[in-house]
Chains A and B, each alone.
Chain A
Amino acid sequence: MTNVLYNVLHLPVGLFSENPYRTTTMRDNICLFVILLFCYSCPSVYIHAQKVNLMNQLPEQYQSYKATEWLDFTGEALYDYINGGAELYLSYGLNGMTGCKYNGEGLPQITVEVYEMTAPKNAFGVYTQSRDKEESDYGQGSQTYDDFILFWKDRYFVIVTTQKATPESRDALRYLASLVEKAIPGEGEIPALVGELPEENRVPGGYLYFHHYIWLNAYLFIADYNIADISDQTDALLAKYGDADARCYLLLVQYPDKAGAEAAGEKLKSKFAPELSPANPVIRLEDNTWFTLRVKENKLSAVFNGNSREQVENLYQSIYK
């Protein structure tokens, strides 16, 4: 099926060129135009074609490395490849993963994995889960280590990894990462909600975008269940502020509507801080940290682990400056 789609989507060049065996008629061209219009207007076909094109960019050989295994997984089949690790991608929304393994005599294996997410925001979300520092050597944000390079661009999250870092494998990592980056033509938009995160005192690279409740505990333990009604219909951000020894955390969630935000706010309040009230919007918890939770329009914001009432209030107020 993949090859058929690929061929169909590359028909224009072949069919409009000279054919020694027949003459292309006006009726042929009209039919072809209709077929192509259908194909290009159908998102799934278009997406699949782009995935195939990315695969075609990967070389059969680089230096002493040769492509030895082509990877192509969709949906739950990804479990066969990385078992439970697949849930990270599935929790954001995944169309599929393609890639290739490279081997060479006496060389550590290299694996290229291209995760095609359902939307750029989801590739961005996986990236925010996967960064320890601010870097953008590849794509729209990247992390480079001796053993692997990962980056996101458009709706793709890409990992190039080696079993062992050697001069040869590091060179191949960089080459393959650049190749995949160039094969992805566009860029994806970062979720608009990110623009509402206050920048002052925010830890560089220290925020996470998600829409599955499991990731609520990424920076500090909050609850072992979906205490804030986070779902595919919400955009959620968790961000770190301040120095490591005086860190506080901002949770910012955008719901489809005001009613959803208010319901989630009530749930979080009743389970976490029932003593909150309009007259007492910032409270001190048992560990002497400060906490607030507010709902404004369709957004819920909560500050955890604050060092003072003022710090919490200022951080909350700066969201809406």
Chain B
Amino acid sequence: MESITRRELLKRTAALAVGSSLLLNRPVTAWANEKEATSKVVLIRNQKLFANGSSPDLAICEQMLDEAVRTLTGKEDTAAAWASIIKPNDVVGIKTNAWNSLPTPPELNDILKARVQNAGVKEEDVSVDDRGVKTNPVFQRSTALINIRPMRTHAWSGVGSLIKNYIMFAAKPSDYHDDSCAPLATLYELPAVKGKSRLHVLVLFTPQFHHLAASTFSEEFTWKYSGLAVGFDPVAVDSVGLRIIEAKRREYFREERPLNPPAKHIALADTRYHLGTSEPSRIELVKLGWDADTYV
């Protein structure tokens, strides 16, 4: 991937006769490569997810996740869908995210664990963890990983993404911080991770689209999007989530307000590290459920 400037984007945009503002403040698109491969992402939303208060409705969480996985796998039956993802002899680590202010909802961790066990995996062979993955015995002997986390803006990587969620497998996470976390996709080459990812779930229940400083959190900068994005390609799922965050920022600020710094690690995961697909035109996005203000 070559380095890129605003001017180069302008020239490309002019050549493509595409609306300029979106591309200019979303250089992810310009960084993307031009290969033909496509990735499927299922985006499912339910307007009633928070009908009973601030916690998501458990039954709706189950329905959303099951329908998304069935659609992703092309199976009509939930058990069959999971059977195509997890085998009974697998040892499964569910890599969650425990960030205090916006963790993976525990309901989703529990549902995933139950679905893995329903697929025949013994209880002692499945574990949910975040910061302890390097020393967790189940993760240490894992044959399969399920990656789940909420998306939020981040002070150095642009967004906290599925790609970034494997940072806890690194011996020294700061080794991946160079150039605003550009090399995050190389986490997928770590022995504890390589070839093990079976499913990626980006939680978009209440995404965080803005923050101040590095460790603040305000509900004012979240909204009830009530969605899940699910896929086999973490880059494609992150790319969809990123577009949603960026669209919300445009709506909220009423002007272009690019992520600071830009979430370049998502596009670079495609163009430099070939982990997956970031270019929207090469993502087969299947949208299910509530369709108001979907943003993608």
Contact = CB atoms under 8 A, between A and B. Distances in A.
Interface string A153-194: 000010101010100000000000000000000000000000
B258 to A, nearest CB: 6
B27 to A, nearest CB: 5
Residue with the highest number of chain A CB atoms closer than 10 Å, among B20, B155, B258: B155
Given A163-B100, A217-B260, A244-B254, A130 B6 contact: no
B154 interface: yes
Contact of A223 (B3, B156, B253): B3
B177 A148 contact: no
Contacts of B262: 217, 221, 224
A213 to B, nearest CB: 10
Contacts of A113: 215
Given A84-B154, A85-B214, A146-B220, A225 B261 contact: no
Given A215-B261, A244-B255, A287-B20, A87 B100 contact: no
A273 to B, nearest CB: 7
A287 B14 contact: yes
Nearest to A149: B216
B173 interface: yes
Nearest to B26: A221
B218 interface: yes
A285 B212 contact: no
A220 B215 contact: no
B48 interface: no
Contacts of B181: 84
Contacts of B213: 88, 126, 129-130, 150, 157, 159
Interface string A253-293: 00000000000000000011100000000000111000000
Contact of B9 (A76, A130, A221): A221
A159 B155 CA distance: 15
Given A76-B174, A217-B261, A221-B262, A84 B212 contact: no
A97 B237 CA distance: 35
B83 to A, nearest CB: 36
A88 B214 contact: yes
B135 interface: no
Contact of B215 (A109, A131, A161): A161
A221 B212 contact: no
Given A244-B255, A287-B24, A143 B11 contact: no
Contact of B220 (A82, A145, A222): A145
Interface in A107-142: 109, 111, 113, 126, 129-132
Contacts of B20: 286-287
Interface in B228-253: 253
B13 interface: yes
Contacts of A163: 100-101
Contacts, number: 141
A236 B53 CA distance: 46
A47 interface: no
Contacts of B215: 82, 85, 111, 113, 159, 161
B14 A84 contact: no
Given A159-B213, A223-B5, A84 B155 contact: yes
B21 to A, nearest CB: 8
Given A222-B5, A224-B27, A287-B14, A148 B155 contact: no
Contact of A87 (B10, B156, B219): B156
Interface in B256-294: 256-258, 260-262, 264
B11 to A, nearest CB: 6
Contacts of A271: 5, 7
A145 B154 CA distance: 19
A120 to B, nearest CB: 17
A161 B219 contact: no
B258 A88 contact: no
A146 B218 contact: yes
A130 B167 CA distance: 25
Contacts of B100: 109, 163
A223 B6 contact: yes
A4 B137 CA distance: 42
B134 to A, nearest CB: 14
A319 interface: no
A48 interface: no
Contact of B260 (A150, A159, A215, A287): A215
Contacts of A304: 6
Contacts of B31: 224
A266 to B, nearest CB: 15
Contacts of A87: 155-156, 177, 180
Interface of B: 3-7, 9-11, 13-14, 20, 24-25, 27, 31, 100-101, 154-157, 164, 167, 173-174, 177, 179-181, 212-220, 253-258, 260-262, 264
The 3 closest A-B pairs by CB, nearest first: A85-B214, A244-B255, A286-B14
5 contacts: A83-B173, A84-B167, A145-B218, A217-B261, A223-B3
Given A84-B157, A285-B10, 11 more contacts: A84-B155, A84-B167, A113-B215, A148-B217, A163-B100, A220-B6, A220-B25, A222-B5, A271-B5, A273-B7, A287-B20
